[in-house]
């Protein structure tokens, strides 16, 4: 085809460039409309903030929530209660999942600050005494480790509540606090004791029932958790563990060792006169320091 020049412009090439530019613009417009549609779809689900001081626990709960409630968007993650409060105020989610036990501001304290800004779900490792309090109020809970069927029930309840205004939980929070801490912060009749240990084993998060643990012992920067069949490492130090365990079942026998009393087979002395705890179904012997020797005076 013969090209024409008008005003010094090669008209055929100019027309092709105009058509190409128009096609490119239309393609970009279609892409933009698609992105806007997808973004609108992604933003249509309820938003939630997830607060737990254990990163692996947050990852596990996020994954299990995605299975039972794929529309739910986790828009923020917090490591403590204050971060949770700040994120709720900034992000304005529909829901907040709060671990009860967190450093600094606890989940219950965060809930008081959050008030009725959003619906609340508590994450707890506490036993039935605390669960009873949750069952009586307009609040839901997830008992660690989060089980698929129980999580489905929680999600079903939450979906029904999302259309209504969050309930004032002041009275219920006081009741739960009394069950956990007792009056004036003392140990209550149903004082909370650790029920599960969250331990990282490679890329897997393992939930170890505390009742299965034979002993805990300090191992450099970690604490070793020993059961009859395996061992794991956690970052929580002995001095923190002893305050969270049931003192009737777990005895500190050394500054670096806590033993499950139910796992003790007996106590012997070595050639230097040291007391050594023998365990049921485990060959390792645990040294008893002089500060704790009184525990075995009658043994």
Q: Check: CB of residue 251 under 8 Å from CB of residue 292.
A: yes
Give the model's pLDDT for residue 171.
75
How far lies 188's CA from each of 109, 110, 185, 298, in Å?
A: 18, 21, 8, 30
Give the model's pLDDT for residue 43.
56
Give the model's pLDDT for residue 220.
81
Task: Indicate the pTM of the whole model.
Answer: 0.55
Give the model's pLDDT for residue 195.
83
Q: Check: CB of residue 95 under 8 Å from CB of residue 49.
A: yes
Give the model's pLDDT for residue 42.
47
| Cα angle for residues 23, 29, 35 (degrees, 5° grid) | 140
Q: Is 190 exposed, middle or buried (0-12, 13-18, 19+ CB in 10 A)?
A: middle
Give the model's pLDDT for residue 47.
96
Collect the ranges in the chain with pLDDT lower than 70. Answer: 1-17, 19-43, 126-139, 178-192, 203, 298-299
Give the model's pLDDT for residue 251.
94
Give the model's pLDDT for residue 265.
93
Task: Transcribe 154-183 into DSSP letters.
Answer: HHHHHHHHTTSPPPP-HHHHHHHHHHHH-G
Task: Transcribe 26-82 into DSSP letters.
Answer: HHHHHHHHHHHHHHHHHTTS-EEEEE-S-HHHHHHHHHHHHHH-TT-EEEEEESSHH
Give the model's pLDDT for residue 189.
37
Give the model's pLDDT for residue 134.
61
Instruction: Write a three-state SS string for 225-286.
Output: EEECCCEEEECCCHHHHHHHCCCCCEEEEECCEEEEHHHEEEEEECCCCCEEEEECCEEEEE
């Amino acid at each position: 085809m013969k090209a024409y020049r008008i005003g010094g412009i090669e008209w055929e090439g100019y027309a092709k460039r105009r058509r190409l530019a128009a096609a490119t613009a239309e393609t970009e417009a279609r892409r933009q409309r698609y992105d806007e549609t997808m973004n609108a779809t992604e933003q249509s689900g309820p938003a939630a903030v997830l607060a737990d001081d254990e990163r692996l626990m947050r990852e596990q709960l996020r994954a299990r929530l995605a299975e039972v409630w794929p529309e739910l968007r986790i828009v923020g993650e917090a490591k403590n209660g204050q971060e949770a409060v700040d994120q709720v105020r900034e992000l304005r989610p529909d829901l907040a999942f709060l671990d009860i036990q967190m450093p600094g501001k606890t989940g219950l304290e965060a809930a008081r600050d959050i008030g009725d800004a959003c619906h609340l779900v508590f994450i707890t490792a506490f036993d039935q005494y605390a669960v009873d309090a949750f069952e009586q109020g307009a609040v839901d809970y997830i008992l660690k480790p989060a089980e698929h069927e129980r999580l489905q029930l929680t999600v079903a309840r939450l979906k029904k509540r999302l259309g209504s205004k969050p309930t004032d939980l002041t009275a219920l929070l006081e009741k739960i606090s009394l069950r956990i801490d007792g009056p004036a912060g003392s140990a209550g009749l149903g004082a909370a004791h650790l029920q599960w240990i969250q331990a990282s084993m490679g890329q897997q998060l393992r939930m170890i029932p505390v009742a299965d643990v034979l002993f805990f012992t300090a191992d450099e920067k970690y604490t070793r958790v020993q059961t009859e069949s395996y061992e794991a490492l956690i970052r929580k130090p002995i001095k923190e563990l002893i305050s969270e365990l049931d003192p009737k079942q777990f005895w500190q026998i050394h500054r670096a060792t806590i033993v499950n009393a139910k796992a003790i087979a007996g106590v012997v002395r070595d050639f230097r006169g040291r007391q050594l705890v023998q365990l049921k179904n485990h060959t390792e012997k645990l040294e008893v320091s002089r500060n704790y020797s009184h525990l075995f005076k009658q043994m």
